Structures are given as structure tokens and as C-alpha cells.
Amino acid sequence: MPVLKVVAKISDQFPCLTDVLYVQNITGTISSQDPKYPFEAVITSGHDVIRTTKSGQTAILDAVLVGHLKDSDKKFLMKYSGHLSFSPELVEVLTGKKTEHGPPGNVKSFGTIELDEEAKGDKESWVIGQTMVGNGRFFREGEDLFVEYLTEFM
């Protein structure tokens, strides 16, 4: 069962090398999917480096997201790496031909969340030291591109 849902809007993207796409100005939300694991946060900034593999069928992700806990100024840092499979359906979403491609699964990720010292006794502190594993998907709302991850913890 998913513990957290991460929804991130992808704003600016540009190629920086032949096989590398740099994504910046990522914003969004992180929300608990299980009341036993409270965590509500706002993503205020982030970036992702996406490197296409030689086959062109997959890519490697390396992302950092920062923000604050909802209704608080206590900060978090989320780092994750992952693997993206370019299915025909996903390519249609990325190129704007479709708005979604089904349930999460084309993006696999793992990572961690760190909390500001001030938040280390709060209800959200259960994330400290945990490794998250996520399944993701891309979707569009109008012209805007988003990625959504449903995560569990190991």
C-alpha cells in the first residue's frame, strides 16, 4: 500500500548534453496516503537530471526536491534516483499527444527525505532514515506536465 504520494509540476526543461535533459523549477506536493504515516509538504523548488541510455528506450533520473512541511516553515530535502521506461504511451504524454498513460509504473525510483533540525521531533520525523521506493507516471493538465509517484518504504 502506498504511504506517500508525490505530485510534481515540471516547469522548465532544456537539453544540456546530447543525451541529458535538465529539468528545473519543479514544484508540487507530498501527501500521506496512510494516516499511520503523517506527512504533508509543499515542494517549492527542485531539479532533475535525466540521462537517456544508449538504447534510447530508458533513462536514468537523479533528482533533488526541497520545500517545507505544510502549515509550517520547517524544511525538507528529498533526493531520489530512478529509471524511466519510454513506452509508446509515455512518449505520447511527454509530447503532448495524450494527457495520461495509465497507472504508475513507467518510472521506478528510490530515495530519502531529510528534515530540518526543528522538525526532528514532529509527527513527520518517521521519514528519517527510511528508504522510499516509488512507482511513477507522467500526466498533463492542459499544457502543464506533471510526474506522480506513489511510494512505499523499505
CATH of domain 4-148: 2.40.160.20
Q: Cα 75 vs. chain centroid, distance in angstroms? A: 17
User: So where are the chain's domains?
Assistant: 4-148
Which 8-state DSSP code applies to residue 57? S
Q: What's the CA angle centered on 115, arms 29 and 47, to 5 degrees? A: 50
pLDDT for the residue 151:
96
pLDDT digits (tens, 9 = 90+) for 59-112: 999 999 999 999 999 999 999 999 999 889 888 998 899 998 878 888 999 999
pLDDT for the residue 60:
97
Q: How far apart are CA 154 and CA 90, in angstroms?
A: 27
pTM: 0.93
pLDDT digits (tens, 9 = 90+) for 17-39: 889 999 999 999 999 999 999 99
Q: How far apart are CA 14 and CA 50, in angstroms?
A: 10
pLDDT for the residue 150:
96
Query: CB–CB of 23/10 below 8 Å?
Result: yes
